[in-house]
Amino acid sequence: MMNSRDVVLQTTSQVTVFIIMTFSGFLFLAGHNNPGGGFIGGLMSAAALVLLALAYDLKTMRQALPVNFHYVTATGLLIAIFSGMGSFVFGAPFMSQAYDYFTLPLLGEVELATAMIFDLGVYLAVVGVTMTIILSIGEDR
Amino acid sequence: MSMLHGVILLPFAAAAIVPLFYKLFKKVHTGWFVLPVPLLAFLYFIAELPSISKGEAIQATVEWIPSLGVDITAYLDGLGLLFALLITGIGALVVLYSIYYLSKEKEAIHRFYMYLLLFMGAMLGVVLSDNLIVLYGFWELTSLSSFLLIAFWYNRDHSRYGALKSMLITVFGGFAMLTGFILLHTMTGTFSLREIIDQAGLLSSHELFAPAMILVLLGAFTKSAQFPFHIWLPDAMEAPTPVSAYLHSATMVKAGLYIVARFGVVFGGDALWFWIVSLTGLVTMLWGSYTAVRNTDLKAILAYSTISQLGLIMSLLGLGSASFYTGGADTAIYTAAIMTAVFHLINHATFKGALFMVVGIVDHETGTRDIRKLGGLMAFMPVTFTFALIGTLSMAGLPPFNGFLSKEMFFTALLEVSTMDFFNVQSWALLFPVVAWIASVFTFVYCLIILFRTFTGPFPKEELGEPPHEASLGLLIPPGILAALVIVFGLFPNLLTYTLIEPAMKAILPTLDIVEAKKISFWHGFNTELKMTLGVIALGVVLFLTKRYWMRIYGYLPGNLSFSKIYDFLLKGSQRFSRAITDTYMTGSLRHYMIYIFAFLVLVGGYFLLRINPFERHGNIVFAEITVYEAILTGVLILAAAAVPFAKSRMAAIVLVGTVGYMVTLFFIVFRAPDLALTQMIVETVSVALFLLCFYHLPKLQRERSSSRMRIFKIILSGSVGLLVTMIALAVSNHQLFDSISDYFVEESYRSAGGKNIVNVILVDFRGFDTFLEIMVLAAASLAIYSLIKVRHRTEQGEQEEGRS
């Protein structure tokens, strides 16, 4: 944003962004049993994108990630509400969550909970919201 | 539904259709379609006359809101019939008159007739309703339709002023009356007038008796233009003359008299009622006649004269209420007062209606109503002059007209009542006849003024131009009928005595066993009353002839202080006052509003904290030990927070706020809330980053300039808010009354939701709905920020483009 020729920053951020992204994914997936979850995960990935924007500039960040963040927010909200409405199919009240254990290839026995779908909605919504705010303020000249 | 309901409904139904006729039949004056309505109703009431005269009554009920005891009960007895005949009879004449008075090309007559019919129906509803709430509804409808009629020529300032004034005053009285009705309901448990009258004897000892009485009287006095609420009536003269003739002389202003007559049986027999009603009536009578002489506008004179005559009837009703006190014995002289009131009510409707129509004709033919510009019309308008002569002489109380009879009876009533030996009357005995006599003198004077200033003397050609000619036949018929009635009632006074007046008296005095109307005789000897009348004539003539020498007294009384000026002052004053109040506290400064909010919080919260004294221990509460970490963190937190207000630059303030945030993060860690700590850390980082983003665009940090007094006040206020919140927190932690529900989450988190992170399970599973709405809030906030910034851009661009072009 401020200077686009900071080689050290740009080089380190090329690496760091992926680490942060991974960490954000980890936080999101670990949320059910360990500290973390959709909210923190979403904020963390937004932080990675902000780092990208700081190291290069907003334009570059936009090119690297050509996404309209309004859609991200909307997708998150839709996932959240549809995951809640999914319980209607089974005749249960709105937002009844369920979980079970499955044996998947490569991963072995895994616990899958419908709450994760909802958390995914939260994750996307938080990413979309944070990025919208930062971008609209940042691009304001 | 009965016939009676149908008759009340008829004008409303007609009001709905009349504009249609106006559009469909352009060639015919709409008034012709309206005329059958009052005529039919009048014929109906005439047809009921024989049975009502025998003392029967018609009652019919339609249920409206039975659960609240509100039914549309129509009740027709002698008093109701008297008023109904006045309303429909004079209504028919006024409609006929207005057909010739209002031009169908120039005026919006469809609106005129719609309002007039609305008024007619409302007025019928008032006098024929038994249920108080329904009566009140119709009562307000008369105020409303009168408002519309006064402002019929709405592009004149005076019309709007008069309409607003009458609206404000009568609606004020109407509300008071509604309150009185509700108090009556509290006392008796019913809204039905009949049932209240049945309990009348028991009420006088009730503590709400006097308030209810005064409130009901307020309604009656404002509507009937009694002192000091009379001021709206002269300003209501801006209405078209048919309206003035109908509403402001014959019908609406008598609604208050109707209320006083109706409720006499409930409240009468009490000294308070007697004194309030009769004194108000006397004062109004005197003041009205005194002020009428001063005016130069014919309609204004008639308005004050109406006020005066209404006061006369009101005082008679008050005097007559003594008959409730005496009960059976010796009531004849007091019932005679009631009889006089009823008789004069009829008489006044006839001659005042005629006079208004005459004034309307004069206005119509010459273009002015100012007596200073008028004169010598007798030769050009002989018929109009004849009607005016009959009307004014009747009003002045001269034989052989009906006004003479009612005035004689009035004097009789006053002389006899002043011999009363209860209600403390003796000490005031002379007051009644003397005041009435003076008022009669002034009445005589203004009657002469109306008559002679308008019709005699030289014709002022330079003022009026071409001499006017006699009005058309249509304009002359209605006042002709009324003037004929004036003479008929004057020469054959007993025509109505037993058919209409006696039933009305019985309706006003329903609890008395024997109520009989006396035979009205034209000549009852050379007695005190006749001498009083002769005195009135003599002094009146002298005063009229010497008028210009004593007119100066109006400069001293009322002088500059008329009641209209007081009204204007109050109205403007209240506007200015409320404006001043609003201006003082609605400063537009956010700081001030914050001060109000916080001061309110501190006052109310502090009051309750002091009152309930919550610092006793409840339950088994053990406070945790304070560790070293917590102490250190608290110290840093306090330091950082306390430094924020002293920060010289914005950068320092941002950093200090950030410090507070990170300290809170550390607190979460110490208190073992990893999710919160993570979230807090990231949110704090993001918000500090946002602060820094905005940093460049913000103006330099400015010290708030305020007086040291204000600063001290603010310090005290913020200190007390902090203190209050701390106290509340301490007080709350003293009251662990129930076990926490967190045990359930701890147990069920893994078993039924399959997660070990309890916080996350609560967020997405147990309380997922909250989370869902919170991300909605976030989304809304982001969209708001986005559109705020983008929309500002767009308007700026738009302005620039406009500037270029």
In B, which residues are within 8 Å of A93 by CB distance? Answer: none
Please tell me the distance from the alpha carbon of residue B159 to that of residue B150, in angstroms, as a whole number.
6
| Cβ contact A33–B789 (<8 Å) | no
Q: Can you spell out the DSSP letters for B513-574?
A: S---PPPP-S---S-HHHHHHHHHHHHHHHHHHTHHHHTTHHHHTTTT--HHHHHHHHHHHH
Please tell me the distance from the alpha carbon of residue B765 to that of residue B767, in angstroms, as a whole number.
6
Please tell me the distance from the alpha carbon of residue B678 to that of residue A23, in angstroms, as a whole number.
13
B13-35 per-residue burial string, b: 16 or more CB within 10 A, e: under 16: ebbeebbebbeeeeeebbbebbb
Considering only CB atoms, B782 lies closest to which of A113, A119, A129, namely A129
The predicted structure's pLDDT at residue B15: 92
Other Cβ atoms less than 10 A from the Cβ of A14: the count is 12
Please tell me the distance from the alpha carbon of residue B112 to that of residue B130, in angstroms, as a whole number.
29
Q: Tell me if B251 sits within 8 A of B222, measured CB to CB.
A: no
| Cβ contact A34–B755 (<8 Å) | no
B268: closest CA among B343, B227, B224, B209? B209
In terms of Cβ atoms closer than 10 Å to its own Cβ (0-12, 13-18, 19+), residue B705 is exposed
Q: SS3 for B414?
A: helix
Run of H or E including B625: none
Q: Can you spell out the DSSP letters for B16-33?
A: HHHHHHHHH-SSS-THHH
For residue range B216-275, list pLDDT tens digits in order: 999 999 999 998 899 999 999 988 999 999 988 888 899 999 999 999 888 887 888 888
Please tell me the distance from the alpha carbon of residue B88 to that of residue B570, in angstroms, as a whole number.
38
Q: Tell me if A52 sits within 8 A of A61, measured CB to CB.
A: yes
Asked if the model's pLDDT at residue B801 lies above 90, the reply is no
Full-prediction pTM beyond 0.90?
no
Q: Does B679 touch chain A (CB under 8 A)?
A: yes
The predicted structure's pLDDT at residue B636: 92
Q: Does B557 touch chain A (CB under 8 A)?
A: no
Q: Tell me if B541 sits within 8 A of B448, measured CB to CB.
A: yes
Please tell me the distance from the alpha carbon of residue B121 to that of residue B112, in angstroms, as a whole number.
14
Which chain A residue shows the shortest CA-CA distance from B781? Answer: A129
The predicted structure's pLDDT at residue B798: 63
Which amino acid is residue B423, in one-letter code? F
Mean pLDDT throughout B160-176? 93
Please tell me the distance from the alpha carbon of residue A113 to that of residue B70, in angstroms, as a whole number.
62
Q: SS3 for B162?
A: helix
For residue range B258-294, list pLDDT tens digits in order: 999 999 888 887 888 888 998 899 999 999 999 898 8
Mean pLDDT throughout B576-602? 91
Q: Does B687 touch chain A (CB under 8 A)?
A: no
In B, which residues are within 8 Å of A46 by CB distance? Answer: 686
B142: closest CA among B256, B218, B19? B256
| Cβ contact A137–B765 (<8 Å) | no
In B, which residues are within 8 Å of A40 by CB distance? Answer: 675, 678-679, 682
Question: CA B782, B784, B787, B793 torsion: positive or negative?
Answer: negative
In B, which residues are within 8 Å of A130 by CB distance? Answer: 686, 782
Which chain A residue shows the shortest CA-CA distance from B761? Answer: A32
Q: Tell me if A87 sits within 8 A of A96, measured CB to CB.
A: yes
Find tokens 């304001």 and name the residue. Answer: A140
- Reported residue count of chain A is 141
Query: Which of 751-780 (B) contact A at CB < 8 A?
Result: 753-757, 759-761, 763-765, 768-769, 771-772, 775-776, 778-779
Please tell me the distance from the alpha carbon of residue A119 to that of residue B564, in angstroms, as a whole number.
73
Cα–Cα distance list, B745 to B21, B239, B432, B753 (Å) = 76, 77, 88, 10
| Cβ contact B760–A84 (<8 Å) | no
- φ, ψ of residue B102 to 5 degrees: the values are -100, 130
For residue range A72-94, list pLDDT tens digits in order: 999 999 999 888 888 888 888 88
For residue range B720-746, list pLDDT tens digits in order: 999 999 988 888 877 767 778 888 888
- Percent of chain B at pLDDT exceeding 90: 38
Query: Quick one: tokens of B96?
Result: 């006929």
| Cβ contact A35–B769 (<8 Å) | no
Please tell me the distance from the alpha carbon of residue B667 to that of residue B634, in angstroms, as a whole number.
9
Q: Tell me if B303 sits within 8 A of B233, measured CB to CB.
A: yes
B716-750 per-residue burial string, b: 16 or more CB within 10 A, e: under 16: ebeebbeebeebeeeeeeeeeeeeeeeeebeeebe
For residue range B28-85, list pLDDT tens digits in order: 888 899 999 999 999 999 998 888 888 888 888 898 988 888 999 999 988 999 999 9
Find tokens 């071409």 and name the residue. Answer: B466
pLDDT confidence band for B795 (50 / 70 / 90): low
Q: Does B674 touch chain A (CB under 8 A)?
A: yes
Q: Tell me if B415 sits within 8 A of B433, measured CB to CB.
A: yes
In terms of Cβ atoms closer than 10 Å to its own Cβ (0-12, 13-18, 19+), residue B466 is exposed
> Residue A108: beta bridge partners?
A104
The predicted structure's pLDDT at residue B330: 62
Mean pLDDT throughout B318-342? 78
The predicted structure's pLDDT at residue B95: 93
In B, which residues are within 8 Å of A126 by CB distance? Answer: 775, 778
Considering only CB atoms, A43 lies closest to which of B682, B759, B769, namely B682
Q: For residue B228, is the peptide bond before it cis, meaning its omega torsion is within 30 degrees of 0? A: yes
B758: closest CA among B772, B744, B774? B744
In terms of Cβ atoms closer than 10 Å to its own Cβ (0-12, 13-18, 19+), residue B608 is exposed
For residue range B126-151, list pLDDT tens digits in order: 999 999 999 999 999 999 999 999 99
Q: For residue B433, is the peptide bond before it cis, meaning its omega torsion is within 30 degrees of 0? A: no
Please tell me the distance from the alpha carbon of residue B781 to that of residue A132, in angstroms, as a whole number.
10
Tell which of B775, B788, B795, B796 to mutate to test the A interface (max A CBs under 10 Å): B775
Mean pLDDT throughout B712-716? 89
Mean pLDDT throughout A18-37? 89
| Cβ contact A136–B755 (<8 Å) | no
| Cβ contact A31–B757 (<8 Å) | yes
Query: Which of 4-23 (A) contact B at CB < 8 A?
Result: none
Distance, first Cα to last Cα, chain B = 71
The predicted structure's pLDDT at residue B694: 72
The predicted structure's pLDDT at residue A1: 45
Q: Tell me if B38 sits within 8 A of B88, measured CB to CB.
A: yes
**What does the DSSP 8-state code read for residue A56?**
S
CA distance A21 to chain B (A): 14
Mean pLDDT throughout B635-655? 87
The predicted structure's pLDDT at residue B430: 76
Query: Which of 44-73 (A) contact B at CB < 8 A?
Result: 44, 46-47, 50, 70, 73
Question: CA B375, B378, B383, B387 torsion: positive or negative?
Answer: positive
Mean pLDDT throughout B343-366? 90
For residue range B90-113, list pLDDT tens digits in order: 999 999 999 989 888 888 888 999
| Cβ contact A43–B779 (<8 Å) | no
The predicted structure's pLDDT at residue B752: 80
In B, which residues are within 8 Å of A31 by CB distance? Answer: 757, 760, 764
pLDDT confidence band for B588 (50 / 70 / 90): confident
Query: Quick one: tokens of B643?
Result: 């430094």
Please tell me the distance from the alpha carbon of residue B248 to that of residue B252, in angstroms, as a whole number.
6
ipTM: 0.91
Mean pLDDT throughout B477-502? 87
In A, which residues are within 8 Å of B693 by CB distance? Answer: 134, 137-138
Asked if the model's pLDDT at residue B332 lies above 80, the reply is no
pLDDT confidence band for B328 (50 / 70 / 90): low
The predicted structure's pLDDT at residue B103: 84
Interstrand relation of B58-65 and A99-104 (parallel, antiparallel or unpaired): unpaired
Q: Tell me if B247 sits within 8 A of B253, measured CB to CB.
A: yes
Q: At what angle do helices B209-223 and B132-150 cross, to 10 degrees?
A: 30
In A, which residues are within 8 Å of B682 by CB distance? Answer: 40, 43-44, 47
Which amino acid is residue A1, in one-letter code? M
| Cβ contact A70–B754 (<8 Å) | no
| Cβ contact B764–A125 (<8 Å) | no
Q: Tell me if B635 sits within 8 A of B659, measured CB to CB.
A: no
CA distance A115 to chain B (A): 6
Query: Which of 77-136 (A) contact B at CB < 8 A?
Result: 77, 80-81, 84, 94-95, 97, 99, 111, 113, 115, 118-119, 121-122, 125-126, 128-130, 132-134, 136
| Cβ contact A115–B768 (<8 Å) | yes
> Residue B65: beta bridge partners?
B70
Considering only CB atoms, A133 lies closest to which of B682, B759, B782, namely B782
> Residue B61: beta bridge partners?
B73
Which amino acid is residue B460, in one-letter code? P
Chain centre to alpha carbon of residue B623: 63
Q: Does B648 touch chain A (CB under 8 A)?
A: no
Mean pLDDT throughout B382-395? 91
Interstrand relation of A108-113 and B58-65 (parallel, antiparallel or unpaired): unpaired
